[in-house]
Structure 1
Amino acid sequence: MTTKQRAFISFDYDHDEGAKIMLAGQAKLPDSPFEFKDSSVKEHLTGDWKEKVRRRMDNVDVVVVLCGEKTHTASGVSAELEIAKSKSKPYFLLAAYADKSCTKPASATASDKLYKWTWDNLKTLIHGGR
């Protein structure tokens, strides 16, 4: 059995919490290649929240950036992606909805691909196929 990848899920708490709950639920499937370790928070963390996110990311293998219709305006998601990049954490952008226009966070680059959320894609992406 391969070790499950520990994933941090970055998402727009105000608009995409339902999608994040579904993604975290997929981690519980028997053939899931990842476990849900941590995610964005709505509550303001006391002190320097970015430093707390940096520490949380120390304990993950991959960062999943869940992208919805308003992700381009979500400053927290953009900051979390910057933190992942600064820590050289592997990450990928996942479209939260198949039937909506999903946007990338402001800190994403033009070369950051937005992937379709399918079970097969997710398994491949978690293991570095991007």
Structure 2
Amino acid sequence: MPAKKRVFISFDYDNDEGAKIMLAGQAKLPDSPFDFQDASVKDHLTGDWKEKVRRRMDNVDVVIVLCGQKTHTAAGVAAELEIAKAKGKPYFLLAAYSDKTCTKPTSAASTDKVYKWTWDNLKTLINGGR
């Protein structure tokens, strides 16, 4: 079995924490291709939180941006995605909910697709299939 990818999950702390907890739970499944490293910094505006995020991203292979209904208003998610891009980290956008309209962070490219969250999709996306 290949080494698990280390994943950073960027998400809207105020609105999508439940979805992040479910995603982190999937990392514990026996056939999971990823290991949950770190997530968004809760205290967005204290100290130099962007520097903390940069350091955390040094140790990850892939960044998952969980997209909820208000992700387009989450400045922290937009900043985290910008940091991931600046570091050249592969990333993808994942719809946090199948039954709601999920929005992209403002820093996402117009060509960035929001992928449906299924176990098979997640495994493919983490292994670079996008």
Hey, what's the Cα distance between the residues in 1 that align with 2:10 and 2:110?
A: 19
Summarize deviations over 1:6-43 as a string: whole Å, max 9, x none. 00000000000000000000000000000000000222
Instruction: Specify the alignment match of 2:65 in structure 1.
Output: 65
Q: Which is further off, 97-106 or 45-54?
A: 45-54
One-letter amino acid matched to 1:109: A
Unmatched 5+ stretches in structure 2:
none
What letter is aligned with 1:119? W
Q: Equivalents in 2 of 1:44, 1:81: separation in Å?
A: 14
Q: Is 1:127 paired with 2:127?
A: yes
Q: TM-score, normalised by structure 2?
A: 0.98
SS in 1 for 2:9: strand
Residue matched to 1:108: 108
Is the CA contact 2:34–2:126 (under 8 Å) kept in the aligned structure 1?
yes
SS in 2 for 1:121: helix
In structure 2, give the amino acid aligned to 1:64. Answer: I
How far did 1:48 drift? 1.1
Shift of 1:47: 2.6
CA RMSD of aligned residues (A): 0.9
AA matched with 2:107? S
Note the residue ranges of structure 1 that are not aligned, 5 or more in a row: none
- 2:118 is aligned to 118
Q: Distance in 2 between matches of 1:95 and 1:46?
A: 28
Distance 1:30 1:41 in 2: 27
What's the TM-score once normalised by structure 1's chain length? 0.98
Of the structure 1 ranges 47-56 and 16-25, higher mean CA displacement relative to structure 2 is found in: 47-56
Aligned partners of 1:55, 1:121: CA distance in 2, in Å?
28
Tell me by how many angstroms 1:46 deviates: 4.6
How many residue pairs get aligned? The number is 130
- In the alignment, the residues of structure 2 paired with residue 46 and residue 71 of structure 1 have an alpha-carbon distance, to the nearest angstrom, of 20
Q: Deviations over 1:52-71 (max 9, x none)?
A: 10000000000000000000
Aligned letter for 2:54?
Answer: R
Instruction: Indicate the percent of aligned positions where both proteins have the same amino acid.
Output: 82
